[in-house]
Structure 1
Amino acid sequence: MKKIILFLTMCLMAFPAKADEGMWFLMFIERLNHRDMAKMGLQLTAEEIYSINNHSLKDAVVQFNGGCTAEMVSKEGLLLTNHHCGYDAIAELSSEEQNYLKNGFWAKDKAAEMKPKSLFVRFFVRMDDVSKRILSKVNDKMTETERNKAIQQETSLIEKENSEGGKYTVSVRPFFQGNEYYYFVYQDYKDVRLVGTPPESLGKFGGDTDNWEWPRHTADFSMFRVYADANGNPAEYSKDNMPLKPKHYLPISLKGVEENDFAMILGYPGRTNRWMPAGGIEQNVQFAYPAWVEGAKTGMDVMKTYMDKDEKVKLEYASKYASTANYWKNRQGMIDALTKAGTAKTKAKEEAKFNKWANKTENKAKYGSVIATVNDYYTQTNVKMLHDNYLSQLVRTASYGAAPATLGNSLIAYYKENEAKKQEMLPRLNQLVETVYGKFHAPLEKDVFIAQLNLYTSKASAYGLPENIAKLKEENKGDFTAYVDMAIGKSIFATKESVLAFMKDPKPESIASDPLYVISNELMTKMRAKTPEQLKADDDFAIAFRNLVAGLRESKMNSIQYPDANSTLRLTYGKVRALPADKRNDAAVNNYTTMTGLVKKYKAGDAEFDLPARVLELNKSKDFGEYADKDGYMPVNFLTDNDITGGNSGSPVLNGKGELTGIAFDGNIEAMAGDVIFDKKLQRTINLDIRYVLWIIDKYAGAKHIIDEMTIVR
């Protein structure tokens, strides 16, 4: 954290640079961070980073499809993000005949750019603090239900006041566990088209083996273009739409990076839990995450069996498998890193110190019972969290887990309505059918469902299984194969065709007894169910956790000045910074990787480490053009010590002048505890060198027309 005492500052200067912790609000950059950033190499003013009245860096950074980050890189609306962020859209646009995931795609001109069905980008307009306004509406005598209702009422007013009649999307978000509130104003653009993507053999090079690992050699990028109406406003897709003229776009530097160079990242980090109590960490490590890991792996193994046999199935399930695999490895990495770091013990010591302060006479009324309440809550919910994570992975990986209940309940509601209401509901119902069965391979889904039911009922029974499922487990001796075979054979919800056939000749009364609906509905009911005792425990915990964070800030026992990530725009800064020397990396300094290292990993025909023949040819002839480093090698990836997390995928990595040097796409597994506690020694961000991006577009793909619309700083 920032050191404001001169003596400490001088001492720190005598030692190697350490990572800067923090995911900072842009509106506070001048007050909290700008001086520190300038000392590290920033050459921009705070106004050039965040301005309401003038264009600034924030205007070039967008949230991509709700879960990633992207950046504008041309005056014609050209957008860069990660390959894994564009994965869904690329898969949707692909077919067996035109497999853009496998082979890549480069639009020869704007007319050839392709529009996926559902894709949007969100531009950040402004933000402001509404803490006093919202907190003036609540008091300590309220129940949590009353408090939440009052906050929601005021939130709705604030959002309406700032939306300008629907022009903007406005979101009021809590921070510091509900001790502060800010509103964010956004503008969404829905006409976003695919411009280019490398083949998976480059964009996903290393696959699951290299995921979260260093050294890395992955071209994790894809390119899209944002379109608007003739006046630059958001519009639904139309051939008459024009490329958006962004308020700001990023110039691209070919100068490369070196150790200790300033590095700044803007993006939309998804979620951190830096304030999580020790009991929560222990719960995750011992109960929640192991269940998540085992459940995810169970689903992945079945999916992969079918994907390896059939190219069509592989394409249909590519995105679902990749997402499941990513979190599977992440959660195992979290278990290992949090255990190795002893994070729960560190937090427990802090909480014991806080508890002494909290029980002083002047603090006891508000804070005295906080730690006891928090610890009691985790003790009460440990077994429930194990159960809930096995069940959530069942529902996430097996379509038969949730779909029959969701679709069945929608059909029940539909058939109860009059004809006029039915006509109104029918388009949404048809869309739901398409969503459920659009990418659906029945044999795969059946086997995933069987495997997950067997796992769930064997591992989560201590919390209590749904009544009918517990009975079926006993009757079938823990093996649901025969029951699921029977259920699918008789079910309305077995396939899209069976659902559509039912809708043509409906017998609504048969839905409630449908065997797939019955088991799915029980699972979903169990997932949502909470006893009055559980609801009270949740409320007590919410109050205690909010007061814990308030107390830690008041007592200054926790020096964190920034709120946890929650998918709002943040800035993080640090430096290019190596990890200790690694014999697996051919680079002179272990802060970058090269094409030499990429080719050394090459395995012909391997699903994770194959390479296109053209890449091998270009490497052999050293045809790197102007994209080679001054020392002659072709750069691929590099490391910085920025503080990022999921959601930062696709974020721009900027030098001190605000020029694009890379695209953030991963973190290192050694620092996987970073969502809970920041490790200044180990924390690294793995970035794609922008020179490798340009080399692929130009030399590999021959799409220099895309390069030509960018502003290149040589």
Structure 2
Amino acid sequence: MYLFNELPTATLKSDHGFEPTAQWADDLRLSSVRFNSGGSGSFISSNGLVLTNHHVASDTLHKLSTPERNLIDDGYLATNQTEELKAPDLELNQLVTIENVTDRVNQAVDSGADAKDAAKQRRAVMATIEKESLEKTGLRSDVVTLFGGAQYHLYCYKKYTDVRLVWAPETAAAFFGGDADNFEYPRYNLDATIMRVYEDGKPAQLKNFLRWSSKPLTGGELVFVSGNPGRTQRIFTTAALKYLRDDRIPYVLDFLRRKEILMQQFGLNGTEETRRARDELFGIQNSRKAYTGMLAGLQNPQTMLAKQASETELLAKVKGNSKLSELAGAWDEIAKVQKAKSEMLKQTVSLRSQLYGIAMELVLLAAENQKDNVDRLREYTDAGRDSLLQELTSTAPVYRDLEQVKLADELARLIELRGAEDELVGKVMAGKGPRDRAAELLAGSKLDLVPERQKLIDGGMDAINSSDDTLIGLAKILQEEYRRIREVNEQLQERERQAYAKITRAVNAVEGAGGYPDATFTLRLAFGVVKGYEEDGKTISPTTNFAGAYDHASSHKGQKDFDLPKSWMDAKSEVNLDAQINFVCTADIIGGNSGSPVVNRDGELVGLIFDGNIQSLTSDYLYTDNQARAVSVSGVGIIEALKSIYHANELAAQVGK
């Protein structure tokens, strides 16, 4: 997961005989995009086409669907540009420049400041840098923390906010095999969707986009992945990993299992309820399986033994070096922070309901707007304002029946976490049970109407204070506690940041500088080779084809998740069954890489990342290419499907040109 401004050119040259030029790297970087909904993508034509996963686009597909037009189940194909459907709130980010601002950030923090003051000083200088950059360039500007706090880089993005849906296959093709096949291999999925970015009402004219390889991949080929991995914790100490194992991940899994049952039960009420809950349910199930795999890895004693052994060896070298010994206390500091984080875990007052989330953002926005930019919470600064307002004024549908179920469950969960006798809980519940209180809160709110939200945005604090909207009232009750918890967590993060910066210095001094920082949902370059692996005594081939997809469906006949859509069955005689559909490679990926382009030495697109195998789920904190594999849709498979199954020849002709 290498930074684009610090590529491993020496390693690539020595291990693979390949030396990327600056032009090669720039073309790939500028052809890559980040989805604000979470995920990656790439420009694939000069007239604005964007390729990503179906599951990355599913949020947009869900928001564009209606009871009469189910894009999730039925898919979509725009036969001309007038039929391309505009996403209500999607933002794509193209990384234009990177600047190292480490010295400026560190110089703004007093060396003797406590965690509270240091966090404020750091937040202030980062906000200033971002605002200056926005005013100078007009680009979205984000200061990114790297190496746990040892470096800070300014990333500047061009934003595309007019994004339209062009083509999406049916979920039965995109998620073929369902939850049973998720994180497994072999796979036979067409987890792909094509969108188009517009500027000034017309398809964007792009200089940077990926050409398309017409050749299927073979074992041993070198490939590259350009995407935005979400979060990894490979710098974490043993104490931090134990916190994940014993506290954080079990807490998250309990939450996910609860929400999975909630969404399933809601869907049992009818076909329309199933449609409304489907996108969220998929995300919950996907996360649940991923976290289960992560926890299993951490619960393997060998994982901790290996981490502890390397940590003990490093600490011995640090303590034995007079120039480094002052850094040894960083490990103890990390351990203390983990205990504090464990104590904070159940103090949450965040209620995961769409309308309540909007209410809290409106209340915070009005309050933060009264402060100087440097004193605001990060997402409410001038640099992030446009993206926040786009989110708050989204025309995406809000389903009150689903909101009722979700808010009632969140209120019940709040009681369970904080206790029924908690004073704040008493104020929130107002003498009612969760279901009755949720019904009352939703009945007295109009925040599902965009004009009502806009009035509160425009009216500022006066409008918030005079509002009789019940969800706004709830947010005002919880705001003080929300801010308290956030401030405590920010101080803990600052202590960790300073400690990990010391650990990074120690590692660099003992082992040498280089390598890459943990993932931060910013653009990275990974590389690997197309390669199968051994599992349960069997050799797993690195590639699959369309014939395998039809065979997989036949061998699981009667299981709904293995039913290929009608379009596939009708077109079977027209499909080149030998055409490659999926492949695996050893590239290092994680959540957020979904939708990342896979390219060859020539920078041509050969695939589309959509998953990792089950052995890759420990990659959050430990990566090895022994069995871990990144799973991709083959580029030739996408073209084959467009032409032979979806009869989208005109769209296929635009790809790569």
Equivalent of residue 35 in structure 1, options 13, 21, 25? 13
Q: Which residue of 1 aligns with 2:544?
A: 593
Equivalent pair of 1:410/1:429 in contact (CA under 8 Å): no
Deviates more, 1:29-38 or 1:108-117: 29-38
Q: CA deviation at 1:606?
A: 5.3
**Counterparts in 2 of 1:522 and 1:282: CA distance versus 1, 3 Å:** farther
Partners of 2:408 and 2:437 within 8 A in 1: no
Would you say 1:220 and 2:191 are equivalent positions? Answer: yes
Match of 1:259 in 2: 219
Residue number among 64, 68, 73 corresponding to 2:35 in the alignment? 64
1:693/1:590 Cα in 2 relative to 1: closer, same or farther (>3 Å)? same
Specify the alignment match of 1:570 in structure 2: 524
5+ residue gaps, structure 2, are: 370-386, 456-461
- Per-residue deviation, residues 53-106 of structure 1 (Å, max 9, x unmatched): xxx222211112352211122222211111011112222222222222211111
Q: 1:496 to 1:607 in 2, by over 3 A?
A: farther
Separation of aligned partners in 1, 2:571 and 2:425: 59
Distance 2:596 2:656 in 1: 18
Are 1:613 and 2:566 counterparts?
A: yes
Q: Tell me whether 1:708 sits opposite 2:657 in the alignment.
A: no
1:104 aligns to what?
Answer: 75
Q: Secondary structure at the match of 1:580?
A: strand
Letter in 2 for 1:25: L
AA aligned opposite 2:185: W
Superposed CA RMSD:
4.0
Q: CA deviation at 1:674?
A: 0.3
The 5-angstrom pairing of residues 530-569 of structure 1 reads: 530=485, 539-556=494-511, 561-569=515-523
Alpha-carbon shift at residue 407 of structure 1 (Å) = 6.6
SS in 2 for 1:296: helix
Partner in structure 1 of residue 373 of structure 2: none
Whole-angstrom distance in 1 between the partners of 2:651 and 2:75: 15
| C-alpha contact 1:493 1:499 (8 A) present in aligned 2 | no
TM-score, with structure 1 as normaliser: 0.78
Per the TM alignment, residue 429 of structure 1 is displaced from its structure 2 partner at its CA by 13
**8 A Cα contact 1:636 1:689, kept in partner:** yes
How far, CA to CA, are the matches of 1:413 and 1:176 in structure 2? 30
**Given the superposition, is the C-alpha separation of residues 309 and 160 from structure 1 closer, same or farther in structure 2, using an over 3 Å criterion?**
closer
Letter in 1 for 2:541: N
**Residues 407-446 of structure 1: pairs in structure 2 closer than 5 A:** 438-442=397-401, 444-446=402-404
Partner of 1:644: 589
Residue 145 of structure 1 and its aligned partner are, at CA, apart by: 4.4
Query: How far did residue 649 of structure 1 move?
Result: 0.9
Residue identity matched to 2:327? Y
Give the match for residue 47 of structure 2.
76
Letter matched to residue 519 of structure 2:
A
Query: Which of 249, 258, 276 in structure 1 is aligned with 2:236?
Result: 276
**CA shift in 2, pair 1:525/1:327, >3 Å:** farther
**Structure 1 residues 495, 342: closer, same or farther in 2, change over 3 A?**
farther
**Structure 1's 608 and 533: CA in aligned 2 closer, same or farther, altered over 3 A?**
closer
Aligned residues: 632
Q: Is the 8 A contact 2:324 2:506 kept in 1?
A: no
Question: 2:604 aligned to 636, 651, 659, which one?
Answer: 659
Partner Cα separation in structure 2 for residue 564 and residue 684 of structure 1: 19
Distance 1:118 1:350, change over 3 A: same
Percent identity between the two aligned chains: 22
Q: Secondary structure at the match of 2:51?
A: strand
* Matched residue, 2:437: 487
| Matched residue, 1:24 | 2
CA distance in 2, matches of 1:434, 1:245: 27
Amino acid at match of 1:289: I
Matched residues in 2 for 1:156 and 1:501: separation?
30
Q: What does residue range 159-238 of structure 1 map to in structure 2 within 5 Å?
A: 159=130, 162-163=133-134, 165-228=136-199, 235=200, 238=201
In 1, distance between residues paired with 2:205 and 2:617? Answer: 39
Who is 2:317 aligned against? 357
- Structure 1: gaps (5+ residues): 1-22, 229-234, 415-427, 477-481
SS of aligned partner of 1:374: helix
Question: Aligned-pair distance for 1:138?
Answer: 4.0
Q: Which has the larger radius of gyration?
A: 1
TM-score, normalized by length of structure 2? 0.84
Equivalent position of 1:379 in the other structure: 339
Aligned to 1:692: 637
- The aligned amino acid for 2:221 is D
Q: What SS does structure 2 have at the residue aligned with 1:529? A: helix
Contact 1:69 1:268 in 2 (8 A): yes
What SS class does the counterpart of residue 284 from structure 2 fall into? helix
**Match of residue 299 from structure 1:** 259
What is the CA-CA distance between 1:543 and the residue it aligns to? Answer: 2.7
CA shift digits 1:110-154 (9 cap, x unpaired): 222121222222222222323334434445323344444554555
Equivalent-residue separation in structure 1 for 2:448 and 2:224 (angstroms):
53
Q: Distance in 2 between matches of 1:305 and 1:128?
A: 49
Letter in 2 for 1:107: A
CA–CA separation in structure 1 for the residues paired with 2:425 and 2:31:
52
Distance 1:49 1:26, change over 3 A: farther
